[in-house]
A and B are shown apart, each in its own frame.
Chain A
Amino acid sequence: MSLRIVVAVKYVPDATGDRHFADDLTTDRDAVDGLLSELDEYAVEQALQIADAADEAEITVLTVGPADAKDALRKALSMGADKAIHVEDDALHGTDVFGTSLVLAKAIERAGYDMVVTGMASTDGTAGVVPALIAERLGIPQVTLLSEVAVADGKVTGRRDGDAASEQLEASLPALVSVTDQSGEARYPSFKGIMAAKKKPVEALGLSDLGIEEDQVGLGGAWTAVQEATARPPRTAGQIVKDEGEGGKQLAAFLAEQKFI
């Protein structure tokens, strides 16, 4: 039987750009170019490896975002995913983690799945809670923050490296898996992969296709309100010395003056 894997990915503002907030205190997506979240590349990679190890598997890559978010889907398709779903709707602007997880869960259910794979967090919001929220909404086990993952005999197993311990985890499918940047380098799309991606199907969905009301998402549907966002004041220029043989002692004097020693 075919293993149906849905990989949820996010199109994010490039972290190396000058990211900031728009007037409505949502992420200003026009300010900086977007791309497939680096942490989601690891999810696509692990899905590809799981699919390779399975008898038969199909990978659907899913994103929620504006028109440009298709770029993230194309990247995943060029890496080797089979097809894509793009949920795009003007009403989604300003959606919080609850709205996002609702849209993702509905789209995942609609697509059909045995396994959902995600990155550990997005590189813009960085909360890292959407995977757990998808699992809660779908009513399936969450096996999150894995640095190693394998699927066999209807079970997913993996290793989660925590602060206090390293844990070996196990859950029955269907399940949600999130992977860390320690799970293995993501492959670069080949020229052949890039060409093939252009022919792969991308299904476009709106909120109405998923039975979601506009007031469940967007800024109006958010359960948390950002009241103000202020740019961090530039640090006042620190003192910089060149080591002429006494650099360590000078630094020690600074630390002593600051009462750290």
Chain B
Amino acid sequence: MAEVLVLVDHVDGAVRKPTLELLTLARRIGDPVAVHLGPGADAAAAVLAEHGALRVLTADAPEFTDYLVVPKVDALQAAAAAVSPAAVLVASSAEGKEVAARLALRLGSGLITDATDVVAGDDGPVATQSAFAAAFTTKSRVSRGVPVITVKPNSAPVEPAPAAGTVEPLAVTFGELATGTKVVARTPRQSTGRPELTEAAIVVSGGRGVNGAENFSVIEELADSLGAAVGASRAAVDAGWYPHTNQVGQTGKSVSPQLYIANGISGAIQHRAGMQTSKTIVAVNKDAEAPIFDLVDYGVVGDLFQVVPQLTEEVKARKG
């Protein structure tokens, strides 16, 4: 079977969940070959093998951590030349999409971004995407070159599928532009202990109705009872009540969890664009006319400061 390159998204060898989802998708269209760039390949290789990687191509150089985007493009280009893959899969992070786009251009290949599903087709992989704030679903395929596809988190299950995971060094020659954009400082985000917003199975969000930064603890407590990530609407972020990194919406993060709970969020198009593909949608809002209620599987018209703490208590009680 043809090989499929999967770019590994990791933090010092700790493989992030979207990469394991990519390996599931890669197995549908060929034999997964993981490309691990930067430090930590040994730790990563074991995890990648466990999830189906036949081979793990590794390269480490300061360029991968000290400079942005282009070094990874150089490396993937080298991997594509070495492997002649049937497709290249990359996680739909900000950097992932940029790496994928530049690679596709260099390979003279079509690009599909933010796929929510990938299946094998007669003329190569067919990818599902959502368009216009998820009002439409499209199916597309690449009509030229090696399909380069970026996939949104939560688009496929993580499945163990033990494979050889043979580690092989990848020779990379960096081009002149590789050192064009220098990372002069990096401040790791402080961990909240909660799941990553875009990867979480459950997201609990707060909006204008939360009415103050100090009140977000109500949202956080519900999230913690469910093991969920915390999101915020643009109104809440613009008001300074919650960090921009937690913003769900067109200009923030796009999430697609199993369960989305919107609290005090009216459901403007800007917000809907970022959460409408969630599998089950729940809302709590005191305005019965709020557009968010058009989307929900279950809605409670009521004061979130009454409803949410009661829900939190009930969740804790039921979980024992």
Do residues B106 and A136 form an inter-chain contact, with CB atoms below 8 A? yes
Q: A residues 210-243 with Cβ under 8 Å of B? A: 222-232, 235, 238-243
Q: Are B319 and A239 in contact (CB under 8 A)?
A: no
A240 and B293: CB pair below 8 A? yes
Verify A136–B105 contact, CB threshold 8 A.
yes
Do residues A168 and B183 form an inter-chain contact, with CB atoms below 8 A? yes
**In residues 1-44 of chain A, which contact B (Cβ within 8 Å)?**
15-16, 19-21, 25, 38-39
B269 and A15 form a contact (CB under 8 A): yes
Chain B: interface residue total (CB-CB under 8 A): 94
Q: Which residues of A contact B294 (CB under 8 A)?
A: 235
Q: Are A129 and B101 neighbours in the complex by a CB distance under 8 Å?
A: yes
Contacts of A139 in B (CB 8 A): 177
- Whether A224 and B311, one on each chain, are in contact in the complex, defined by CB atoms closer than 8 angstroms, is no
Contacts of A97 in B (CB 8 A): 101, 111
A154 at the interface (CB under 8 A from B): no
Does any Cβ of A come within 8 Å of B270's Cβ?
yes
Tell me if A103 counts as interface (CB < 8 A to partner B).
no
Is A250's beta carbon under 8 Å from chain B?
A: yes
Q: Determine the main DSSP class of B at the interface with A.
A: mixed
**Which of A62-70, A107-115, A190-198, A252-260 interfaces with chain B?**
A252-260
A211 to B138 alpha-carbon distance, docked (Å): 33
On whether the beta carbons of B311 and A248 are closer than 8 Å, the reply is yes
- Given A136-B105, A141-B181, A227-B126, A247-B137 contact (CB < 8 Å): no
0/1 interface trace, chain B 71-102, chain A, CB 8 Å (1 if under): 00100000000000000000001110110111
Q: List 26 A–B pairs whose Cβ atoms lie within 8 Å, in order of A's numbering.
A: A16-B269, A96-B110, A101-B105, A123-B250, A127-B114, A129-B98, A129-B111, A132-B98, A132-B102, A136-B73, A140-B177, A144-B94, A144-B98, A162-B94, A163-B198, A166-B187, A170-B184, A171-B181, A222-B143, A227-B126, A232-B130, A247-B306, A248-B300, A249-B314, A254-B282, A254-B298
Contact A247 B113 (CB under 8 A): no
* Interface hub of B69, B132, B281, B294 (most chain A Cβ within 10 A): B132
A169 touching B182, Cβ below 8 Å: yes
Given known contacts A15-B250, A231-B135, A161 and B245 CB-to-CB distance under 8 angstroms: yes
Least Cβ distance of B70 to chain A in Å? 8
A143 contacts the other chain (Cβ, under 8 Å)?
yes
Task: Name A residues whose Cβ lies closer than 8 Å to a Cβ of B.
Answer: 15-16, 19-21, 25, 38-39, 96-98, 101, 120, 123-124, 126-129, 131-133, 135-137, 139-145, 147, 157, 160-172, 175, 180-182, 222-232, 235, 238-243, 245-252, 254-256, 258, 260-261
Chain B residues within an 8 Å CB radius of A131: 98
Residue pair A250, B184 in contact (C-beta under 8 Å): no
- Give the shortest distance, in Å, between A213 (CB) and chain B (any CB): 15
Q: Chain B, 161-181, contact with A by CB distance < 8 Å: what is the 0/1 string?
A: 000000000000000010011
Assembled-state Cα–Cα distance A189/B148 (Å)? 41
A252: B residues at CB distance < 8 A: 310-311, 314-315, 318
Q: Would A243 and B298 count as touching, CB distance under 8 A?
A: no
Return chain B residues, CB-CB under 8 Å to A135: 102
Are A167 and B186 in touch, CB under 8 angstroms?
A: yes
Residues of the A chain whose Cβ atoms lie less than 8 Å from the Cβ of B158: none
The yes or no answer to B295 lying at the interface (CB within 8 A) is yes
Is the pair B299, A128 in contact by a Cβ cutoff of 8 Å?
no
State which of B251, B295, B309 has its C-beta within 8 Å of the C-beta of A235. Answer: B295
Q: Pick from A96, A137, A255: contact of B315, CB below 8 A.
A: A255
Interface residue B188 (Cβ < 8 Å from any Cβ of A): yes
